Every structure is written in C-alpha cells, then in structure tokens.
Amino acid sequence: MTAPLLPRTPASPARGTFAGRSFRKARVLFDAWLANMTAYRAEIVIWMLAGAVPLIMMAVWIGKANAGGGTVGGLDARAFAAYFLAAWLAQQSTVAWVAWELSFDVRQGNLSAKLLRPLEPFWEFLMQHLTERVVRVPLVLGLVLVGLLLAPPGTVLTPGLEAALLFMLSITLAFLIRFMIAYCIGILAFWTEQSTDFDETYYVLATFLAGGFAPLELFPAAVRHFVEWTPFPYIVYYPAKLLTGQLPASDIARVLLVQGVWVALFALLRHLMWRVGLKKYGAVGA
C-alpha cells in the first residue's frame, strides 16, 4: 500500500521568488539605514538649513513685488511665497550626496568589500538616500508650515489633492534625475581623484538654473530657452510649479515625459560608466 501523495506547498514568497527575495533585501537595507539616519537627525537639520537659498530669495522677491506696485513679472507676493516654499520643498526632497560617498569608496578601496555582496552598491546607496528622506521630509514639512504662517496672508501652497499627487510623481522623477547625475559623477573617481569637484560645479549651476534664485519666467528669453534643454529646471522649478498649481494644464504631460526621459538617459549613462569603470578598477588589482 503506497502512502497518499501530499499536496505541494507553494514556495514562500519571501524565500522562493525573485520578487520575494528582493523585497526581503530591500526591507533589511531599509531598516538598517533608517536606524542609521535617525541617529543623525541633528546633522540632517544642519544640512537643511544650509540649503536655505529659496527661502532667502522668497523674502527678496516678495520685497521687490511690494516695492514694484504689487507684482513682478505677473507674480504677486503670495505667488512668490508659494513658489519659493514649494521650491525649497523640492530642493530638500532631491538632495543627493552619493558622488562623495562613491568617490571615497573607490579611492580608499572600500568598494572592493561592497562588490562581494549579493547586491550592487547602487541599491545600497539608493536606500541610504530614501531612508534619509523619511527622516528629512517631516522636518521639512514642519518648516514649510512655519513659512506659510509667516507668508503674506492668503498664501496657498497647493490648490488641491490633484496638484499634490502630481507633485509627488514629479518630485520622485526629479530625485531620480539628481541621484543618477550624482552617481555618474561619483563613478568618475575610477579615472580621477577630483571627481567631487564636478559635483561642486553641478551645485553651483543648479543653484542658478534650477529655479532656486528666481522662477524661470523671470529669466531672459534666450537664457530660459537654453535652460529648458538641461535637466536643472526639472529638478526644482517644474515640481514647484506643479505643487502650487502655477503650471498650465497643457504642460503637465510634457514635463513628466521629459523628466522620465532624463531619468532613462542618466540611468543608461550610469550603467555604461559603471561597467567600464569596474574594468579599470579591477585592472589595478583592487
């Protein structure tokens, strides 16, 4: 007499499937880096205050609007307040320092140990930034609320839920653009010890061209036309415009599409640079 066949038990999603294994790795990385970032809350606050250019420019442009008869370039004091608060929120949501960490790991040889792990270092750096956002965003939102209280009466940051949801989508794409740019800069450490100088150059350009100093509609026409062909306004200016509802409905799809294209281009560039850089890194015995 043969024993009855037992029904097969499906593999546990957390153990047997690719998606399950990926989720478990992501959860472990998230928990580890969240604990790390939570321990550095005070340092994160200092970083936030160091990026206060949009808040300073908000006061400047509100003053110019009040002194110029109430508007500048068609924007009044309330529009300037809403825009610069949104721009600061966008700026704080897209901070990326991976260029410095990756460059350090390459130059010091720390990358060798990371390459032995079952996960490409890219994902660990990405999770490091995402968990930092979890700690940073509540603090940023609190300061935005304070800013609204100090802004001209009647200032509205966002007209409704739809604008807020569009901002969430746009700022996610904006963060990926900035992160990919920083990662590509960090990969340059395979060829030069001064790779972080390029990130400093990027920061200077982005400060002027991303919309932190002034909305793009106040730029000279030729300058704005040039800036539109760069990724800078799609990191701060356009997400801020989406949040405040100041972007025409006809431009929304175009902006999101262009952001997606920039993400894809920099993701491809990162992949190609990484493959070539690793060959050089291994060639010198690291």
pLDDT at 257 over 70: yes
Q: 182 in a domain, yes or no?
A: yes
pLDDT, residue 109, reads: 86
For residue 201, with 0-12 CB atoms within 10 Å meaning exposed, 13-18 middle and 19 or more buried, which class applies? Answer: exposed
* Mean pLDDT for the chain overall: 84
Average pLDDT over residues 255-273: 97
The per-residue pLDDT for range 65-74, each reduced to its tens digit, is 888 777 888 8
Average pLDDT over residues 179-185: 96
Count of structural domains, the chain: 1
Q: 43 in a domain, yes or no?
A: yes
Domain residues for 172? Answer: 20-281
Spatial CB neighbours of 208, under 8 Å, sequence gap ≥ 6: none
pLDDT at 203 over 90: no
Q: For residues 275 and 7, what is the distance between their CA atoms, to the nearest angstrom?
A: 46
Q: 9 in a domain, yes or no?
A: no
Check residues 48 and 164 and name the one with the higher pLDDT. Answer: 164
Q: 77 in a domain, yes or no?
A: yes
Q: How far is CA 248 from the centre of its chain?
A: 23
The per-residue pLDDT for range 33-72, each reduced to its tens digit, is 566 666 666 666 676 766 777 888 888 888 888 887 778 8
For the ranges 96-110, 186-200, 264-278, the maximum mean pLDDT occurs at: 264-278
Average pLDDT over residues 87-112: 90
Distances (CA, A) of 246 to 32, 224, 284: 39, 17, 53
pLDDT at 143 over 60: yes
The per-residue pLDDT for range 206-256, each reduced to its tens digit, is 888 999 888 999 999 999 999 999 999 999 999 999 999 999 999 999 999
Contact 29, 37 (CB under 8 A): no
Residue with token string 């068609």: 74
Check residues 200 and 7 and name the one with the higher pLDDT. Answer: 200
Question: What whole-number percentage of the chain has pLDDT above 70?
Answer: 82
Per-residue tokens: 25: 């790795």
Q: 11 in a domain, yes or no?
A: no
Comparing 24-28, 159-163, 172-176, 184-188, the range with the smallest average pLDDT is 24-28
Crossing angle of helices 161-187 and 121-150, in 10° steps, is 140
Query: What is the maximal distance between C-alpha atoms in the chain?
Result: 98
CA 186, 26, 134, 160: dihedral to nearest 10 degrees?
A: 100
Per-residue tokens: 137: 């965003």
Q: 64 in a domain, yes or no?
A: yes
Instruction: Record the pTM.
Output: 0.85
| Coil/strand/helix, residue 71 | strand
Q: 8 in a domain, yes or no?
A: no
Q: 3 in a domain, yes or no?
A: no
**Nearest Cα residue to 89 out of 54, 43, 47:** 54
